[in-house]
A and B are shown apart, each in its own frame.
Chain A
Amino acid sequence: MNEMIRKKAKIREKTYLAPDIYRYSFLTDLCSGAEPGQFVMIYPVNGARLLGRPLCIADVSGEDNDSGRADDPGHYFDIVFRVVGGGTEEISGYNPGDELYIEGPLGHGYPFDEKTIGGKNIVMLGGGLGAPSLLFLAKKLMKAPSAFVSLTAVLGYRDRSMNHFLASDFGGTGIKTIISTDDGSEGIRGNVIDALEESGIKADLIYACGPLPMLSAVKRYAKEAGATAYISLEERMACGLGVCLGCVAKTTEKDAHSGVKNARVCTEGPVFCAETVDI
């Protein structure tokens, strides 16, 4: 048998970030080899809810990252989620010590090899709950800061009630971090692209995660600016493993697996080069 990628994991830490938004840390080595942009399926316990909830990996710590906690064997990973329905509401009710079934790491994340990032001005655009997957990427990129020219994170929020969650984590990595809010109650008024333009930051390479209209705008912006954009798509999933074909994205060319212009968000994605998807 091949390796199992499904485990029961204990919640190590639970942090309230903003109304309805939580950060959980799970005590497990399940995601120790995960790449930024990959996700996990977290299964509700209530038997009336049978499908996993796909949530991106926000951070991973391994043996090289000693938290200094006596109760901490060193392997854990974080997710950040918002309560949007019954399943996430149930998950938000669990506490440190509680265990949940988790599958992962799944899918293909952001490419960040030397060829992709070398000599580039990199901008990360995170809209709302898009910030978490970019945080993990930011940490990976900052391990080799000499590989690229510049790195900026632009994080967009609805308003100040979202407590610009995770912004201090981005700042903590040493990355220049810009905040925008739709209503201007904090940071630059407008969306992440407005903030990027207003700040006059050059982008050769864009990593983006957020709502679909934002990602469509990022695709257009990147094309006009002559930049390459990698975007992380969200779609309703059933299996998370590439079986059910529930979560497809329209592609511009025929996809090798499906034989039609559909790629599986859970398997070929969730991160796609913006040019290759029809959004």
Chain B
Amino acid sequence: MRLYQEKSAGDIEPDLGVDLAGIHFRNPVTVASGTFGSGIEYSRFVDLNKLGALTTKGVSRDPWEGNPTPRVTETPSGMMNAIGLQNPGVDVFIKRDLAFLEEFDVPVIVNVCGHSVGEYEAVVERLAEDDRVAMLEINVSCPNVSCGAIQFGTDAGMLMEVTSRCKSKAGSKPVIMKLTPNVTSISDMAKAAEAGGADGVSLINTLTAMKIDIYKKRFVLANKTGGLSGPAIHPVAVRMVYEASHAIKIPVIGMGGVASAEDALELMLAGATMVAVGMMNFTEPDITGKIIRGIKDYMVLTKTEHIRDIIGAV
């Protein structure tokens, strides 16, 4: 592999900027919701101003306790989690997290979760007029909460309804629907989100998985099941991003096991306009910077002036 090399004199200066839902992003790299908090902890490793966008952990109307522990476990080239969307609720989020992010020059995508359509609407409404929020990502795909979330994302009719109702409360804010891979046809779900008026879709959330301790004869996670993420699921993400992006006209944010610039580029060639780095933030806190540099190197190497020429170019 020839990426991550020193530049030479005649090299082009590639343009990594992308436009999505009417917003310009300086590069196509963001982080996957739940793997980066609101950037507070990682800001000592990563220059947040260099990210294309920062996607926050899911925010709900009220504080959520989440699931009992153990909540996480490692799996081959990945991990499983069943956090259960623990979060302090939108009031604390606005007061603490958005106030922190205000100091940075990075578009903020706020991930929104809820147990009911009304709860999603309440959060969307609170954030619709907030200038510190660039875009909303609606989580209809978390496999780890017992009511809400994934139920809205596995039924096309419900997905369309949640989309249009969130959209109607979002004012001028673009709304992205985050989709689950735990469906028979990702294309049908992407179409439902588009029909509901979504400005884009993001995929994939984690794959529902299970791990058993053979000596204790017990489930490893207290929740029994958890969401599988990490490099192990990357090829699934590439396939689903390809299928979804060919089924709809709205843009796709691709994610799932991105561990390198090569992985990110694969998702973009499959049709993603932006990509998100997830679990690998835990392994290498400064990995996003490395991936952005690697994409730039690839463009120099392949003499690609505009990143838009890569999107869907497979």
Contact = CB atoms under 8 A, between A and B. Distances in A.
23 contacts: A1-B47, A5-B44, A6-B286, A48-B76, A49-B74, A50-B79, A50-B230, A50-B283, A51-B79, A51-B283, A52-B282, A52-B283, A235-B70, A237-B72, A241-B285, A242-B41, A243-B42, A244-B81, A244-B83, A246-B72, A249-B69, A259-B92, A262-B86
Contacts of A65: none
A278 to B, nearest CB: 11
Nearest to A2: B44
Contact of B81 (A238, A241, A242): A238
A258 interface: yes
B41 A243 contact: yes
Given A2-B44, A51-B79, A259-B92, A239 B65 contact: no
A239 B45 CA distance: 13
Given A43-B283, A238-B81, A261-B65, A246 B45 contact: no
Contact of B77 (A6, A43, A47, A248): A47
Contacts of A48: 76-77
B69 to A, nearest CB: 6
Given A244-B34, A260-B63, 4 more contacts: A47-B77, A49-B74, A50-B279, A246-B83
Interface of A: 1-6, 43, 47-52, 87, 103, 235-249, 257-262, 267
A50 B44 contact: no
Contact of B86 (A43, A236, A248): A248
Given A50-B279, A50-B280, A260-B86, A238 B79 contact: yes
B162 to A, nearest CB: 25
Contacts of B63: 258-260
B118 interface: no
Contacts of B286: 6
A1 B44 contact: yes
A235 B69 contact: yes
B107 to A, nearest CB: 20
Nearest to A53: B74
Contacts of B43: 2
Given A50-B230, A51-B79, A259-B88, A243 B282 contact: yes
B94 to A, nearest CB: 12
A49 to B, nearest CB: 6
Given A260-B86, A262-B66, A262-B86, A246 B76 contact: no
A241 B89 contact: no
A242 B37 contact: yes
Contacts of A247: 69, 71-72
B100 interface: no
B64 interface: yes
B182 interface: no
A247 B83 CA distance: 9
A51 B285 CA distance: 12
B36 interface: yes
Contacts of A239: 41, 281-282
Contact of A50 (B83, B88, B92, B231): B231
A49 B283 CA distance: 9
Nearest to B74: A51
Interface string B189-210: 0000000000000000000000
By Cβ-Cβ distance, the 5 closest A-B pairs, closest first, are A259-B88, A246-B72, A2-B44, A239-B282, A259-B63
Contacts of A244: 34-35, 72, 81, 83, 282
Nearest to A87: B74
